[in-house]
Amino acid sequence: MRLRVEFTKFGKIRFTSHRDVARMWERAIRRAELPISYSEGFNPRPKMSFGLALSTCHQSDAEYIDLEIDPQQASTVAPDSVADLLTQHLPDGLEAVRVVEIDRKTPSLQQAVTSCTWQIDVIDTDEETAAAAVARALAAEELIMRRQRKGKDVVDDLRPQLINLEIIGPIITGPDISGPNEEGVRMVAELGTKPRSVRPSELLAALEPPLTEWRVTRLNQWITDDDGSRREPIPRQLSSSAPLGAT
Amino acid sequence: MTSVWPRLEHLLPQVQKPARYIGCEDGAQAPDHGPGPVSWLLTYPDTYEVGLPNQGLQILYEILNERPDAAAERSYAPWSDLEALMRRDRVPLFSVDNHLAATDFDVIAFNLSAELVYTNVLNCIDLSGIAVRSLDRKDSDPLVAIGGHCAYNPEPLADFVDFVVLGDGEEVVGEITTVLAEWKRGGRGPGTREGVLRTLAGISGVYVPSMYEVSYDGPRIAEVAPRFADVPEQVEKRTVADLADWPYPKSQLVPLTEVVHDRLNVEVFRGCTRGCRFCQAGMITRPVRERPAEQVRSMITNGLKRTGYDEVALTSLSTADFSGIQQVIADTVSEPGCDQVSVALPSLRVDAFTVGIAAQIQRARRTGLTFAPEAGSWRMRQVINKMISEDDLFGAVESAYSQGWRRMKLYFLTGLPTETDPDTAGIAELATKCAELGRAHHGGAASVTVSVGGFVPKSNTPFQWFGQNTSAELNRKIGLIRDATRRNRAVKLKWHDPRATLIEGIASRGDRRIGAVIEYVWRRGGVFQEWSEHFNHDLWLEAMVACGLDVDWYVHRHREEDEILPWDHLSAGLHKDFLWQDWRDALDEVGLEDCRWTPCYDCGACTGYGVEHVVASATPPAGGSQGTGVAQSPTTGTAVSVEPRLVAGVAPS
């Protein structure tokens, strides 16, 4: 039995890394006594696989993890109750919101997810400046990003993976910044993940002028089907009792 | 009292590993402070990853928070990247629980387990926003306290701390809290700070450095005298009589980010009477107090269930000596649902019995085993009273290789008293022979890693009079081992930087005058000195010169019998004449048996405090000759069986 779990990551826990979150899941699964399958070999690991890593400091409304349940004990697991059970054993700030059973042949999250929608709040700018930067980016032929990879300078063009970018409007930063609250701008971006996942911070650095990140939230992950239509790894309207997958 | 979190939060995306600073662990508490309770900020003066697992700090955190008159939170030294931002934005040292400023607490209490963190202590005090020297502090400032093993020679930090706690903290933190609660009720008026410190000085186990006057005769100490008649001449350590009364931590903290020793830790006993003469921990934590096996079992079962960890470490100074070891391990590995649980035994004796235990718990992953013979020759091991025969070692190693382990790690000290070049060369010889045993089983896949550390004499041990080897001498000795093992591809050699050993030596047996050196180094940015990327050897030597102090006199000089040592007014219970006799015995190459299973030789640790060993088994564990008086296992013997049928032989009757 394979389960796909959607979970959220908000609050102080957003400062933990992807690897930290993986360890939290391992412990939560053991505490919940969820009968997960283990890999063979000298160092058995629980069979669980994550989707695209979320950067440290970013929060998310749309994280996913696939869990392989021990087939001999699958009958004891009711997918409907798993979300609450896991949330109870996860640390504050991580919440399992939906769980569905998926087909054994369902492609992994890493393979399937093609783009993500991000809410990006920026500071030290105003709406006009940000809107101009967005317009320039959308009109540009290419968006150059320079980065270091294995000690070498690599130049990437982000433009093909910039699927959408729009300004939502002005915001006032929350109560968690020093001094008086600052004015900022909220944007929403859809960024492609193939062949390589583009990070919101990379996009902000490639804008003209570059914008300063304040708070980034992953809103959705998308799977694009062969017909070009897109859907989420667990469609929102789907109730947890209906199996999902290749059948 | 307000949270610093709003000022901290936006700094965190700019630093490495921000999860170090958020708290949120499972088991973390958010105590109410209010005007009444005495608030303690329990601080580990190193990074979160190193400090979080500290059991002493976690035990006191729980005990204090269970009291209605106390509130305890935790703090760790911020890494240099965050420190720079905190200083720029004037964000003070903070607790990770409620993210309160350090000055919102009544006591800032540091746990000290190594000398090289001393400059971090000053840095944390300074980051709190209070004066680093205790005499410069205001009445309203928190009291600064230290405890932990290094507190047995607190003199280098004497000018910076308000009080010092010696020994087990479980009971004394309550007594201190009661005094401070009374002080708070009285309004903590101006001028009352010295009075409350004087009251604290009357609590057994509490040392208030400012209540003592140190006078010198040339470089030597002439006298350490209490300034008032009601201040004791000698401060005695605290010892909890029975660990069964203290089943802590009950809710071990489970961090959200990776830390060292990231597993469930259950302390199976405290104290060790093996009597290794170089080992300060074994000397200052006597007597042996075992936790009842039944309590160990329930702490393991409940702890694993609560935390979700898949590894438990049974901690102590020599876990194979625990009377209930076989039964506890057998029960743990056979517990339903524990088939994925691994058991770690961090401190192992060197013998085949121990390997048998390891075989029982490492059924799957048999990658490496670690032993600590400590010295390369039998003569040298008699001097240090670590009575491991070659038969013990080779028996253990043969048994381990034959049961599937391929990598051995061997720990040694060099620079020990009376050490000769043949003793040092013995390290290489032992390693070479172990590698040969491995080759017979695993061919080229077998390896032996040799870790060599330079010996630093510690206070309250028989070697406290010994003049430490110079860095040059330690380098020469490491060179001897390196030359002898260089051509052997199966032997890998690692060593501790002798320059760091030297600096540890300055602080280890330093007196109050070393405080100026610590301050000098700290003021010039010398923090995180136990981290190789920050360690600054030359700055320490420059500080010694600037303070007019002689490295040779402090580190390399043999002390004399009639000399007043800087810590003589602080007692771990051990009679000074016992330690001196043990030092003479060492020089005569005479070993001393473990008093757990042999008659008392009156070191003072039990008789002085009306406590005694709490040991479930009256007979020494099977196997090994290490001071147990029991015949050693034959060289070629395979592992001692640990099938349940044998358990009755050593289980508590």
The better pLDDT of the pair B351, B648 is held by B351
Q: B340 and A38: CB-CB below 8 Å?
A: yes
Predicted confidence at residue A33, as pLDDT, reads: 93
**pLDDT tens digits for range B153-175:** 999 999 999 999 999 999 999 99
Does residue B328 have a pLDDT over 70? yes
Q: Which of B94, B293, B481, B258 is nearest to A26 (CA)?
A: B258
**In this structure, what token pair is assigned to residue B584?**
């003479």
Q: Classify residue B554 by its DSSP letter.
A: I
CATH of the domain at B155: 3.40.50.280
Name residues whose C-beta falls within 8 Å of residue B336's C-beta, 6 or more positions apart in sequence.
none
Q: B10 and A176: CB-CB below 8 Å?
A: yes
Are B160 and B283 in the same domain? no
Question: How many CB atoms are closer than 10 A to CB A84?
Answer: 12
**pLDDT tens digits for range B484-518:** 999 999 999 999 999 999 999 999 999 999 999 99
Query: What is the three-state SS of B219-252?
Result: CEEEEEEECCCCCCCCEECECCCCHHHCCCCCCC
Helix, strand, or coil (residue A171)? strand
Helix, strand, or coil (residue B519)? helix
Helix, strand, or coil (residue B437)? helix
CB A129 within 8 A of CB A116: no
Q: Residues of chain B with pLDDT > 70: what percent?
A: 93
Over residues A3-17, the mean pLDDT reads 97
Written as one letter, the residue type at B355 is: V
Q: Alpha-carbon distance A147 to B630, whole Å?
A: 65
**pLDDT tens digits for range B202-246:** 999 999 999 999 999 999 999 999 999 999 999 999 999 999 999
Are B305 and B225 in the same domain? no
Helix, strand, or coil (residue B299)? helix
Does residue B126 have a pLDDT over 50? yes
Confidence of residue B622 (pLDDT cuts 50, 70, 90): low
Q: Alpha-carbon distance B93 to B96, whole Å?
A: 10
Q: A213 and B89: CB-CB below 8 Å?
A: no
CA distance B5 to chain A (A): 7
Name residues whose C-beta falls within 8 Å of residue B216's C-beta, 6 or more positions apart in sequence.
B222
**In this structure, what token pair is assigned to residue B20?**
């170090």
Are B134 and B73 in the same domain? yes
**In this structure, what token pair is assigned to residue A163?**
């699927």
Q: Which of B89-103, B320-334, B543-557 has the lowest mean pLDDT?
A: B320-334
Establish if B610 belongs to a structural domain. Answer: no
Number of domains in chain B: 2
Q: A24 and B256: CB-CB below 8 Å?
A: yes
Q: Which structural domains are found in chain A, ordered by start?
A: 2-110 (3.30.70.580), 113-224 (3.30.70)
**In this structure, what token pair is assigned to residue B628?**
């147990």
CA A165 to each of CA A136, A159, B478: distance values in angstroms, whole numbers, following the listed order = 11, 11, 62
Chain B residues within 8 Å of chain A (Cβ atoms): 5-7, 9-10, 12-13, 17-19, 21-24, 26, 89, 254, 256-258, 305-310, 337, 340, 364-365
Per-residue exposure over B457-473, b if at least 16 CB sit within 10 Å of its own CB, e if not: bbbbbbbbbbebbbbeb
Are B161 and B281 in the same domain? no
Are B65 and B203 in the same domain? yes
From A181, which residue of chain B is nearest by alpha-carbon distance? B6
**Does the beta carbon of A18 lie under 8 angstroms from any beta carbon of chain B?**
no
**In this structure, what token pair is assigned to residue B311?**
């590894």
Q: What are phi and psi of B237, to 5 degrees?
A: -75, 165
A-interface mutation test, from B4, B5, B7, B10, most A Cβ less than 10 A away? B10
**Does the beta carbon of A27 lie under 8 angstroms from any beta carbon of chain B?**
yes
Does residue A247 have a pLDDT over 50? no
Over residues B412-427, the mean pLDDT reads 98
Does residue B630 have a pLDDT over 50? no
Establish if B267 belongs to a structural domain. Answer: yes
- ipTM reported for the complex, 2 dp: 0.90
Q: Alpha-carbon distance A12 to A172, whole Å?
A: 20
Q: B22 and A38: CB-CB below 8 Å?
A: no
Q: Alpha-carbon distance B22 to A214, whole Å?
A: 18
Written as one letter, the residue type at B235 is: V
Establish if B579 belongs to a structural domain. Answer: no
CA distance A236 to chain B (A): 29
The better pLDDT of the pair A25, B342 is held by A25
Q: A56 and B308: CB-CB below 8 Å?
A: no
Q: Alpha-carbon distance B212 to B94, whole Å?
A: 32
Q: Alpha-carbon distance A11 to B12, whole Å?
A: 13
Establish if B642 belongs to a structural domain. Answer: no
Establish if B356 belongs to a structural domain. Answer: yes
Establish if B588 belongs to a structural domain. Answer: no
What mean pLDDT, rounded, does chain B reach? 92
CA distance A17 to chain B (A): 8
Output the CA angle B648-B650-B653, nearest 5 degrees: 70
Are B218 and B284 in the same domain? no
Q: Where are the alpha helices (DSSP H) in B138-227?
A: 172-185, 193-201
Output the CA angle A145-A149-A152, nearest 5 degrees: 95
Q: B24 and A92: CB-CB below 8 Å?
A: yes
Are B363 and B455 in the same domain? yes
Helix, strand, or coil (residue B447)? strand
**pLDDT tens digits for range A139-165:** 999 999 888 888 888 888 999 999 999
Q: End of a domain among B236, B254, B288? A: B236
Establish if B278 belongs to a structural domain. Answer: yes
CB B162 within 8 A of CB B136: no
Question: How many CB atoms are closer than 10 A to CB B483?
Answer: 11
Output the CA angle A64-A68-A69, nearest 5 degrees: 125
Residue range(s) defining the domain that contains residue B343: 263-513+549-572
**pLDDT tens digits for range B381-401:** 999 999 999 999 999 999 999
Q: Residues of chain A with pLDDT > 90: what percent?
A: 78
Q: Which of B22, B305, B365 sits opposite A12 (nearest CB)?
A: B22
- Per the DSSP assignment, residues forming a β-bridge with A100 are A4
Predicted confidence at residue A177, as pLDDT, reads: 47
Are B179 and B272 in the same domain? no
**In this structure, what token pair is assigned to residue B582?**
């043990």
Confidence of residue A246 (pLDDT cuts 50, 70, 90): very low
Are B168 and B61 in the same domain? yes
Which residues of A, range 84-103, sit inside 8 Å of B by Cβ? Answer: 89, 91-93
Are B173 and B303 in the same domain? no
Cβ neighbours of B340 in A, within 8 Å? 38, 44
**In this structure, what token pair is assigned to residue B541?**
């030597």
- Per the DSSP assignment, residues forming a β-bridge with A220 are A117
* Dihedral Cα B422, B427, B429, B432, nearest 10 deg: -160
Predicted confidence at residue B99, as pLDDT, reads: 97
From A29, which residue of chain B is nearest by alpha-carbon distance? B308
Predicted confidence at residue A242, as pLDDT, reads: 46
Predicted confidence at residue A174, as pLDDT, reads: 67
Over residues A32-43, the mean pLDDT reads 88
Side-chain-facing half-sphere of B322: CA atoms under 13 Å: 29
What mean pLDDT, rounded, does chain A reach? 90
CATH of the domain at B309: 3.80.30.20
Establish if B449 belongs to a structural domain. Answer: yes
Q: What are phi and psi of A220, to 5 degrees?
A: -150, 155
Q: Where are the alpha helices (DSSP H) in B239-292?
A: 280-284
Are B183 and B308 in the same domain? no
**pLDDT tens digits for range B66-79:** 999 999 999 999 99
Q: What is the pTM of this model?
A: 0.93
**In this structure, what token pair is assigned to residue B214?**
């140190």
Are B43 and B146 in the same domain? yes
Over residues A68-92, the mean pLDDT reads 95
**In this structure, what token pair is assigned to residue A77?**
């697991």
Question: How many CB atoms are closer than 10 A to CB B324?
Answer: 25
CA distance A245 to chain B (A): 31
